[in-house]
Amino acid sequence: MSDQASDFVLQAVSFDTLEGWKDDDPSGLFEVMRSCRRQITDVKPYRTGSLGLSSEDLLPLLLAAEDFTPSSPASARAFFERHCRPFLIRRTDGNPGFVTAFYEPEIEVSENRDEIFRFPFYRRPDDLIDLDDANRPADLDGAYVFGRLHDGRISAYPDRREIDCGFLEGRGLEIAWAKSKVDVFFVHVQGAARLRYSDGRIGRITYAAKAGHPFSAIGKLLIDRGEIDRAEISMQSIRAWLARNPERVDEVLWHNRSYIFFREAPVADPEAGPVAAAKVPLLAGRSLAVDRMIHTFGFPFFIGAESLTHLDQDRPFRRLMLALDTGSAIVGPARGDIFTGSGDMAGENAGTVRNDADFTILIPNAAAGRFD
């Protein structure tokens, strides 16, 4: 395990000790696994996180899933029991894992700006470049993976406030215009959206890049200021506070300097989830965003959250999921974001998820021996 992963350990466990495993039905994961296999073999392998698990380590599992069709929930579970070994992710600081949730909003938009539709979703600018250890300026923190190249010099890209105040105007980067700055902000937080145009057309946007600044949660800001009680914090309570305090919206939103750019995505199947960082459609309730600096896309995680009950008919959330996305706020070895689906109801379900959780990663047999 690399130094970056030294704040946690993997503890070998058995499937028999995974509470809720025998009641789970992971049958829906097999089609997604086939999509991951095509991405890895036909397009590009996933980046290897600091844990050291690679697409090559994952491939035997995906190839085994290629022609496997589960006949029952038990047969689906038996497949994973045959091909993987489970390891509990234990943080060395003793704190539990933690899950939140995200969804795909549906936003009313216009192709053109007018007095009502005034707030843009931007494409990636051509002066935004990827940064790594070779080209990152010494005065930029190592967390910056994007920067601005201008007149031969690399610097930090303008932040949310500067962009909101017009930095990108006149460059033709607008994909569509929304009615509400708050709606645009929460699409940035979610990383994707369905766009409903006035003529009935449905478009889709998904994450393309970010300005590079760290994510700062406005919910934490409002808690620290005593505006919302910690026990009441949720997407819904934050939206309600912003609606009650329109004169303070800019100040609060600009606290989160992170800014997201989007690309248009085809809507071949309106029922399919958005295509996220792993380049495959997300499956509602079975797709997990993880810290990609540590973990590698495509790996299965069994998530057990005793206190999270509203996603599973008042029963504790205990499901096998695939790591298929990431996010600026998803930082740490046992930190995840559950995809709840698309539309308003998915948003209601996602907005109140803030729960301790156990994270168990399933490692294909051939690679598992490295972690004993």
Q: Name all domains of the chain by residue range, CATH numbers in brackets.
A: 3-101+273-371 (2.40.40.10), 104-216+256-264 (2.40.240.50), 217-255 (no CATH)
* Cα separations in angstroms, 150 against 52, 145, 246, 332: 35, 16, 35, 33
DSSP secondary structure string, 37-59? HHIIIII-PPPP-TT---HHHHH
For 318, the token pair is: 């205990």
- Those residues whose C-beta lies under 8 Å from the C-beta of residue 223, and which sit 6 or more positions away, are 229, 230, 233
Tell me how far apart the alpha carbons of residues 77 and 84 are, in angstroms, rounded to a whole number.
Answer: 11
- The answer to whether 234 and 241 are in contact (CB under 8 A) is no
360: three-class secondary structure by DSSP? strand
DSSP state of 128: E
- Those residues whose C-beta lies under 8 Å from the C-beta of residue 172, and which sit 6 or more positions away, are none
Centre a 10 Å sphere on the Cβ of residue 235 and count the other Cβ atoms it contains: 21
pLDDT of residue 3: 39
- Those residues whose C-beta lies under 8 Å from the C-beta of residue 81, and which sit 6 or more positions away, are 15
DSSP state of 280: S
- The answer to whether 287 and 333 are in contact (CB under 8 A) is no
pLDDT of residue 290: 97
DSSP state of 123: B
DSSP secondary structure string, 321-343? EEEEE--TT--STTEEEEEEEES
Cα 327–chain centre separation: 4
pLDDT of residue 328: 79
Tell me how far apart the alpha carbons of residues 239 and 234 are, in angstroms, rounded to a whole number.
Answer: 9
Residue segments in the chain with a per-residue pLDDT below the cut of 50: 1-4
Helices 344-351 and 235-244: angle between axes, nearest 10 degrees: 100
- Give the bridge partners for 28, in sequence order: none
pLDDT of residue 4: 43
Cα 108–chain centre separation: 23
